[in-house]
Amino acid sequence: MHRFRHFYFTLLFGALMWLGWTPRLFEFTLLFAFVPLLVMDEDMRQKKKSVWKVFINFYLAFFWWNLFCTWWVANTYSGTHDVSSIVAGAL
C-alpha cells in the first residue's frame, strides 16, 4: 500500500477535480480536491524527496484530471455530428 500511496493520491485528485467539472451536482468536490495533493506534498517533504519526484507526482495528478476531462468531452460530442462538434473539435 505504501508503495503506491502517492499514485493513489494523484488518481484521487484527478477524480475529484473531474467530478467537480462535470454537469452534475458534485461541485463541492472542488473544495476537497487539493487535499490529496497537500497530504502527498507534506509526506514528500518529511521524507526529503527530490524536487523532481514532487514535480512528477504533481504532473501525474494534473495529467489524470486532463485525461478524465478529455474523455468526458470526447464522449459528450461523439455521435452528434453537427456544427458544434466540428467547432469544438477545431478548438
C-beta separation of 6 from 40 below 8 A: yes
- In which domain, by residue range, is 65 found? 5-90
Residue 4 is predicted with a pLDDT of: 85
Q: Which three cell numbers stand for residue 71?
A: 474523455
Residue 90 is predicted with a pLDDT of: 62
Residue 82 is predicted with a pLDDT of: 62
Residue 84 is predicted with a pLDDT of: 63
For the chain, 91 residues long, give each residue's pLDDT as a single digit of tens: 577 888 888 998 998 888 888 777 888 888 888 999 889 888 888 888 888 988 898 999 999 988 888 887 777 665 556 666 666 666 6
* Residue 60 burial (CB count, 10 A): 17
C-beta separation of 17 from 30 below 8 A: yes
Q: How many domains does the chain have?
A: 1
Side chain identity, residue 1? M
Residue 77 CA to residue 82 CA, distance in Å, equals 9
Environment class of 17 (CB within 10 Å of its CB; exposed 0-12, middle 13-18, buried 19+): buried
Residue 35 is predicted with a pLDDT of: 92
